[in-house]
Amino acid sequence: MRELKELINKDEDAIKLIMAWKNAAKNKIQILANDSLRSSEALFNTQISTRSPMGAIVFHTGGILIDNGWIRIYGSGSEKLNRNLPNWNKGKTFQNFGDKPGYLIIADDAVGGFFLLNGGDLGNDLGKIYYLSPDNNEYEQLDLTYTEFINFCFSGNIDVFYRDLRWKNWGDDFKKLSANEAFIFYPYLWTKEGRDINKVEKNKASMEEIYTLRTQQL
């Protein structure tokens, strides 16, 4: 594994690009404060340079919340977002730090969806983002790279992307949700009985619980 100093690129740090996108963003963006020790550990365990947007987000942020936390992009973790990129993936997409994962979970959302970066296990399109939606038991290819995904989160039309996953009065329910939780639906939205999101039961659950449930269904 490369040493930490090899991963920190001060001359071409992508955090400058991230901040420029934030300043021009059309959506509400909250960049969570990071802890320097935790950030250094997370970057070392991720083994990605800060020259890349992913490395910069892991090293410089505790994570990024989009639209008040509807989408949560993993950084080095914080109280508001208790998942950091390497630790959350360890035991899920790889066993030991330094392993080459077949994919990485890079973000999640308030309806229990997960965004994954393809490392080869999801298809031949290396580096593309897939979405595991709560209304689909298959990975959906979004035809976006990680950088394009971040740009979409900052300035894309999130309302259109989630138009089938929001219900009447969803905003009132969402206000009671933390970024460490998501909604869980029953009957499941991918079933015939769960097709109408307005009629299904909605409860809150931790992201760990939801991830375990989703992977059991695949």
Whether the Cβ atoms of residue 47 and residue 30 lie closer than 8 Å to each other: no
In one-letter notation, the amino acid at residue 164 is: D
pLDDT band of 197, cuts 50, 70, 90:
very high
What integer best gives the mean pLDDT of the chain? 98
pTM flag (> 0.85)? yes
The pLDDT value recorded for residue 218 is: 83
Instruction: Using the predicted structure, report yes or no on whether residue 217 has a pLDDT greater than 90.
Output: no
Compute the residue count for the chain: 218
The pLDDT value recorded for residue 52 is: 98
- pLDDT 10s digits, 128-149: 999 999 999 999 999 999 999 9
- In sequence order, the β-bridge partners of residue 183 are 204
The tokens describing 3, both together, are 């040493």
% of the chain residues with pLDDT over 90: 99
Mean pLDDT of 98-127: 98
pLDDT band of 116, cuts 50, 70, 90:
very high
Sequence-distant (≥ 6) Cβ neighbours of residue 95 within 8 angstroms: none
The pLDDT value recorded for residue 161 is: 98
In one-letter notation, the amino acid at residue 53 is: P
What's the CATH number for 4-165? 3.40.1580
pLDDT band of 176, cuts 50, 70, 90:
very high
How many angstroms separate the Cα of 212 from the Cα of each of 60, 65, 206, 208?
A: 29, 23, 10, 6
- pLDDT 10s digits, 40-90: 999 999 999 999 999 999 999 999 999 999 999 999 999 999 999 999 999
Distance of CA 5 to the CA centre of its chain: 26
The pLDDT value recorded for residue 91 is: 98
- pLDDT 10s digits, 20-50: 999 999 999 999 999 999 999 999 999 999 9
